[in-house]
């Protein structure tokens, strides 16, 4: 038994790296996030009639969900770096590292929610899709974004405080937990916001009020005199706008296949946890690479170092069980709710084929995105997660639809 145990130990070390505790924490966080995202999937499956009544809303949904993960996932990544470098302290003062990070996250929430509404309407028109009005998009995006962001902000700070107190690996835990929280609360928040646009005179007033709030928050940042706050917002806005546009294209990709998803609502249940897990895997990798770049453990070279390859293997190890369990749980939940499904075997096939294709792309995008940001003198904590998670939303949506077409489902 001794030689066998030794070989198994060496295999485990080769797959998960020298820190198995961190790998376990990341895997548990992925499982928790996948379970939480099933709630988002159930919500999406249950509101299929709302999607039909408010044409174009599905274009906004991946971007709105992705923004919570992008903004607060990046916040978690920055707080993780602060923990590693010893600058993390909880305080009520806005001038602290944590205080400026929280203000930046709130400002970005207002600004990006407004921008997403305009992008969703513009791209829907460009792709000749019938959609709701611009003001309706603004109200749904802003109201839903503010409600969900308040919840995710509390969770992000809680995870950071728990990491500081209990020694959790923030880089492994934060991305999946925060993005799952964003998925869970964003869809219900957007659904609640749709009731505002059904009141004839409320939508224009709310649209103007929330748009003014977004502009005022940006002006406040420019006049704040807080250098870290200004830098985070200035660096994050462009990449978040690009990420939002990518997410909206992902929404259009799914919108154009809406008939297949509404015929088999179990596929709608699968969409949020599937996209979240592709983004969460990328988020874990982005956070780990960012911390290693800051700490000098890897160099920003075109050829990945051994320490980077250890992270690549870890993501691959996570992917197979995560995408299998997501498919099984989505099918079981759909069965319990009486939603039509292509069956467990096809669900597993769709999730695995799409997931492995997306994960392969994830590794390349995450690594080269991180080193490009670092070489340009930018903070990869600000750029890594938004770029990776939005890219994975689009690539994940395309990979999922590709898998559906391969298996001739729908």
Could you report the per-residue pLDDT of 295-313, keeping only the tens digit for each?
Answer: 788 888 888 888 888 888 8
At residue 115, the pLDDT reads 92
Q: What's the distance, CA 341 to chain centroid?
A: 25
187 — pLDDT class (breaks 50, 70, 90): confident
Query: Regarding predicted confidence, which is higher, 44 or 329?
Result: 329
pLDDT surpasses 90 at 353: yes
pLDDT surpasses 50 at 392: yes
Query: Regarding predicted confidence, which is higher, 291 or 180?
Result: 291
For the ranges 31-40, 61-70, 96-105, the lowest mean pLDDT is seen at 31-40
pLDDT surpasses 80 at 213: yes
pLDDT surpasses 50 at 8: no
Query: φ and ψ at 223, to 5 degrees?
Result: -100, 5
Cβ(191)–Cβ(43) below 8 Å: yes
Cβ(319)–Cβ(393) below 8 Å: no
pLDDT surpasses 80 at 182: no
Token readout for 66 is 């992705």
Mean pLDDT of the region 335-342: 85
**Unique residue bearing structure tokens 């898998």:** 403
pLDDT surpasses 70 at 10: no
A 10 A CB-CB count for 310 gives 20
SS (H, E, C) the chain: CHHHHHHHHHHHHHHHCCCHHHHHHHHHHHHHHHHHHHHHHHHHHHCHHHHHHCCCHHHHHHHHHHHHHHHHHHHHHHHHHHHHHCCCCCCCCCCCHHHHHHHHHHHHHHHHHHHHHHHHHHHHHHCCCCCCCHHHHHHHHHHHHHHHHHHHHHHHHHHHHHHHHHCCCHHHHHHHHHHHHHHHHHHHHHHHHHHHHCCCCHHHHHHHHHHHHHHHHHHHHHCCCCHHHHHHHHHHHHHHHHHHHHHHHHHHHHHCCHHHHHHCHHHHHHHHHHHHHHHHHHHHHHHHHHHHHHHCCCCCCCCCCHHHHHHHHHHHHHHHHHHHHHHHHHHHHHHHHCCCCCCHHHHHHHHHHHHHHHHHHHHHHHHHHHHHHHHCCCCHHHHHHHHHHHHHHHHHHHHHHHHHHHCCCC
Cβ(37)–Cβ(280) below 8 Å: no
At residue 338, the pLDDT reads 85
For the ranges 171-175, 245-249, 280-284, the lowest mean pLDDT is seen at 171-175
Q: How many CA atoms lie within 13 A of 152 on its CB side?
A: 36
Query: Regarding predicted confidence, which is higher, 119 or 89?
Result: 119
At residue 15, the pLDDT reads 44
Radius of gyration of the chain (CA): 21
For the ranges 6-15, 16-25, 336-345, 393-402, the lowest mean pLDDT is seen at 6-15
pLDDT in tens, 124-174: 888 887 788 888 899 999 999 889 989 988 888 888 888 777 777 776 677
Instruction: Name residues whose C-beta falls within 8 Å of residue 381's C-beta, 6 or more positions apart in sequence.
Output: 74, 77, 78, 80, 81, 287, 290, 294
Angle 227-255/97-126 helices, nearest 10 degrees? 30
Mean pLDDT, rounded, of the chain? 80
Distances (CA, A) of 347 to 46, 161, 351, 392: 19, 38, 6, 20
Instruction: Name residues whose C-beta falls within 8 Å of residue 307's C-beta, 6 or more positions apart in sequence.
Output: 292, 297, 298
For the ranges 22-31, 179-188, 259-268, 351-360, the lowest mean pLDDT is seen at 22-31
Total count of residues recorded for the chain: 410
Which of 41-55, 133-147, 378-392 has maximum average pLDDT?
133-147
């Amino acid at each position: 038994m001794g030689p066998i145990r030794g070989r198994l130990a060496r295999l485990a070390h080769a797959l998960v790296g020298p820190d198995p505790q961190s790998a376990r924490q990341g895997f548990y966080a992925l499982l928790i996030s996948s379970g939480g995202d099933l709630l988002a999937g159930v919500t999406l499956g249950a509101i299929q009639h709302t999607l039909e009544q408010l044409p174009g809303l599905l274009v906004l949904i991946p971007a709105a969900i992705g923004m919570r993960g992008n903004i607060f996932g990046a916040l978690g990544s920055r707080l993780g770096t602060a923990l590693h470098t010893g600058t993390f302290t909880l305080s009520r003062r806005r001038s602290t590292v944590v205080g400026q990070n929280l203000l930046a996250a709130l400002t970005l929430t207002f600004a990006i929610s407004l921008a997403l509404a305009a992008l969703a309407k513009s791209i829907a028109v460009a792709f000749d899709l019938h959609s709701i009005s611009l003001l309706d998009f603004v109200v749904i995006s802003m109201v839903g974004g503010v409600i969900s962001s308040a919840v995710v902000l509390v969770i992000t700070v809680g995870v950071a405080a728990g990491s500081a107190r209990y020694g959790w690996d923030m880089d492994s835990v934060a991305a999946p937990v925060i993005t799952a929280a964003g998925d869970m609360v964003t869809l219900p928040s957007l659904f609640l916001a749709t009731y505002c646009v059904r009141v004839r005179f409320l939508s224009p007033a709310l649209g103007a009020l929330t748009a003014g709030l977004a502009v005022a928050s940006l002006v406040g940042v420019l006049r704040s005199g807080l250098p870290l706050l200004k830098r985070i917002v200035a660096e994050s806005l462009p990449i978040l706008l690009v990420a939002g546009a990518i997410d909206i294209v992902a929404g259009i990709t799914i919108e154009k296949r809406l008939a297949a998803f509404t015929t088999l609502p179990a596929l709608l249940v699968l969409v949020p946890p599937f996209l979240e897990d592709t983004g969460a895997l990328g988020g874990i990798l982005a956070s780990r690479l960012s911390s290693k770049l800051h700490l000098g453990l890897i160099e920003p070279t075109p050829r990945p170092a051994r320490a980077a390859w250890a992270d690549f293997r870890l993501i691959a190890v996570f992917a197979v069980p995560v995408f299998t369990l997501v498919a099984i749980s989505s099918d079981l939940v759909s069965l319990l709710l009486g939603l039509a499904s292509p069956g467990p075997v096809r669900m597993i096939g769709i999730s695995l084929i799409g997931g492995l294709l997306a994960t392969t792309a994830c590794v390349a995008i995450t690594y080269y995105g991180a080193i490009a940001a670092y070489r340009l003198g930018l903070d990869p904590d600000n750029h890594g997660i938004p770029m990776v998670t939005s890219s994975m939303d689009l690539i994940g949506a395309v990979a999922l639809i590709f898998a559906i077409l391969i298996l001739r489902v729908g």
